[in-house]
Amino acid sequence: MVDAVRGHLDARTGEYAGVLGLFLCPASRLPELITELIKAKPVKPVALSLVIDTGLGGVPKAVSIVESRAELLSLRMVEMPAPSDVDEVWLERVSEFVPEDVIRVVEPRRGGAEWLDGVGRVIEHGSWPKIRCGGLSQEAFPSVDQVADFLSVVASGGVSFKATAGLHNAVRHTDEETGFTHHGFLNLLVATARALSGKDVRAALSETDGEALAEEAKALSDPAAHAVRGVFASYGSCSLGEPVADLEKLGLL
């Protein structure tokens, strides 16, 4: 937690502050975060995404802890895992618990036919759906088809989504150590653009040529780029350095 807080506060005033998003912290580790922030004395509150790992019933308490520390934390987003068959009643409770100006991100667990229905319900409910793109086993990495299906639901709903895990590199590649093939965040970005303009999403997700992806991203018109960022709104990464290095290499930063 010490390193995470220091890293975030430094990055906030660093060269790449522009690409830095929210600080993510699980609800179970809020007390630890607050202790560190009291020591670090940030000049302005840290914009926070609260990751609920304490169940639906844990939301009100975690939110009130954050709100009681307004000098240290500014709550922008609340993220929660959800069963793949997440339903309206459950989602309704989430919105009761989360303040209106805070973004709700819900991740229906991927798997089975009901997953995309769950994603659809999250969207209908006005929350952002989240897709998990990696982890410690092959199963944690969604296939190109699954990501494409997710994007088609999201793009047709015209809403924002968030991605997480396994996305610290720009371009699709296979990790030599683990043998897992990772999705690239640039692939996701280009695929989102294509989903919005009715082009081949699967090809963009499968692309391993970084230059080609970079060219396509650069060629997006301003309105198209804005539309893409409106949909692929955020993704989580435990490192700022790696994505920035990739983007620089591709001439995108």
Residues forming the site for another protein (CB under 8 A): 27-28, 31, 53-61, 82-87, 89-90, 93, 97, 109, 111, 135-140
Structure tokens at 42: 């940030």
The angle, 0 to 180 degrees and rounded to 10, between the axes of the packed helices 88-97 and 59-67 is 20
Cβ distance to another protein smaller for residue 129 or 210: 129
Least gap, CB of 115 to another protein (angstroms): 11
Cβ distance to another protein smaller for residue 111 or 251: 111
Cβ distance to another protein smaller for residue 66 or 195: 66
Nearest Cα neighbor of 109 from 133, 134, 131 is: 131
Least gap, CB of 177 to another protein (angstroms): 12
Which residues make beta-bridge pairs with 108?
82
Place of tokens 């294509």: 194
Q: Is the dihedral of CA 89, 90, 96, 101 positive or negative?
A: negative
Least gap, CB of 216 to another protein (angstroms): 32
Cβ distance to another protein smaller for residue 74 or 84: 84
Least gap, CB of 137 to another protein (angstroms): 4
How far apart are the C-alpha atoms of 26 and 49, rounded to whole Å? 9
How far apart are the C-alpha atoms of 202 and 119, rounded to whole Å? 19
Cβ(221)–Cβ(213) under 8 Å?
Answer: no
Least gap, CB of 110 to another protein (angstroms): 8
Three-state DSSP class for 104? strand
Q: Please give the DSSP secondary-structure letter assigned to residue 27.
A: G
Cβ distance to another protein smaller for residue 114 or 216: 114
**Burial class of 136 by CB neighbour count within 10 A (0 to 12, 13 to 18, 19+):** exposed
Cβ(104)–Cβ(95) under 8 Å?
Answer: yes
Least gap, CB of 53 to another protein (angstroms): 5
Cβ distance to another protein smaller for residue 109 or 229: 109
Cβ distance to another protein smaller for residue 25 or 191: 25
In what order do the strands lie in the sheet containing 46-51? 23-26, 46-51, 73-82, 103-108, 128-132, 161-164, 232-236
Least gap, CB of 133 to another protein (angstroms): 12
